[in-house]
Amino acid sequence: WIHQQQRDVIDYLQEENRVLREQLGPRRLRFTDEQRVRLAAKAKRLPRRVLHEIVSVVSPDTLLAWHRHLIARKYDGHPRRGPGRPHVMAEIRQLVVRMATENRDWGYTRIQGALANLDHHVARGTIANILKHHGIEPAPGRQRRTTWQEFLKTHWDVLAAADFFTVEVWTGAGLTRFAVLFVIELATRRVEIAGIMAEPDSAWVVQCGRQVTDAVDGFLIGKHFVLHDRDPLFSEAFRETLAAAGVQTVRLPPRSPNLNAFAERFVRTIKESCLDRLILIGEASLRRAIREFVAHYHGERNHQGLQNQLIVRPGADRRDGTIACRERLGGLLKYYHRPAA
């Protein structure tokens, strides 16, 4: 039974390796010396027949060649044996990796020039070896892709996100689910409640889109991009409405809530701090609760992502005087401050 279980484990790991290789596609795997040592150390314990059966990332002959190379290095008795090129300081290695990752279109020569500006004169081959050691592709492979973090950083000040959340409210018809559409400005965390409706449809969402892109006082004035998920309510008509106002919509991949983390965080905050702690009776009570929370969220709640500051700061701070407590929703939300004289 133990032997069969071991066989099942090996079968699973082999299949997992095949799936990972399919994910990588034709891309060549690059191994560091430390990784070669680890694989060769494991391979030397296995017969060649077994290696041919289980190895999937490289050929068995390659593994055995690595092992022979390790043996040769171990027993090379030359007292002054070392790498062919001068040792590269840790600082230079870090700079090479940093420059390549922060500037995806920089090739070896461009990095070489940038290092020379810092009085570090490094050969192109050394730069290539450093990047290879860290698993970083040459510039042509890197510059084809724009990472999500790069997109956010480049467009941070002109980015917003839209999302829905739902709330259960007691009405004359019983427990009714309301949808709340909101838009959040990523750089400042400011939030606009675009609409609240019991039975939302795409026409309602389009109308909300017109309101937030209004040329006079629309929340999205100055914004170029709006992130949203693939909810069917974000219809083609909605996207066209925003595009007509100069705002491009960015549809997120399926099942990727982390890419809309700021909107998700607002939903969690308003529910945990307010809505989940209230019994809401009627649409008016829902609207009042949301209105009060949004006012508290902007002017009375400190935000860790903004260095623990308020979104909307009051006037000059007072260091003396009576401390007052402003309460909202019957004391559910509190704000301590010194009233203006």
**Listed residues 21, 43, 74: the one ending a domain:** 74
Which domain, by its residues, includes 61? 2-74
Residue-level pLDDT at 275: 96
Compute the C-alpha angle 269/273/278, nearest 5°: 130
pLDDT digits (tens, 9 = 90+) for 91-116: 888 999 898 888 877 888 889 999 98
Mark whether 133 and 172 lie in a shared domain. no
Mark whether 48 and 162 lie in a shared domain. no
In a domain, 84, yes or no: no
Mark whether 43 and 9 lie in a shared domain. yes
Mark whether 106 and 233 lie in a shared domain. no
Torsion 116-122-124-126 (CA) sign: negative
Q: What's the mean per-residue pLDDT of the chain?
A: 84
**Listed residues 13, 41, 74: the one ending a domain:** 74
Report d(CA 331, CA 341) in Å as an integer: 24
Token couple for 127: 């730069």
In a domain, 278, yes or no: yes
Beta bridge partners of 177: 168
Report d(CA 220, CA 291) in Å as an integer: 19
Residue-level pLDDT at 317: 62
pLDDT digits (tens, 9 = 90+) for 20-43: 877 777 777 777 777 777 777 777
Question: pTM of this prediction?
Answer: 0.61
In a domain, 133, yes or no: yes
Long-range contacts of 166-169 (CB under 8 A, 24+ apart): 167/275, 167/280, 167/286, 168/280, 169/280, 169/281, 169/282, 169/283, 169/285, 169/286
Checking if the pLDDT of 290 tops 70, the result is: yes
pLDDT digits (tens, 9 = 90+) for 126-172: 888 888 888 887 766 555 566 667 777 778 899 999 999 999 999 99
Q: What CATH number has the domain bearing residue 215?
A: 3.30.420.10
**b/e sequence 172-204, b meaning 16+ C-beta within 10 Å:** eeeebebbbbbbbbbeebbbbbbbbeeebeeeb
**Listed residues 127, 145, 163: the one ending a domain:** 145
Residue-level pLDDT at 75: 45
- 287 contacts 171 by C-beta, under 8 angstroms: no
Mark whether 13 and 94 lie in a shared domain. no
- 97 contacts 134 by C-beta, under 8 angstroms: yes
- 242 contacts 225 by C-beta, under 8 angstroms: no
Domain count of the fold of the chain? 3
Q: Which of 4-8, 180-184, 214-218, 275-279 has the lowest mean pLDDT?
A: 4-8
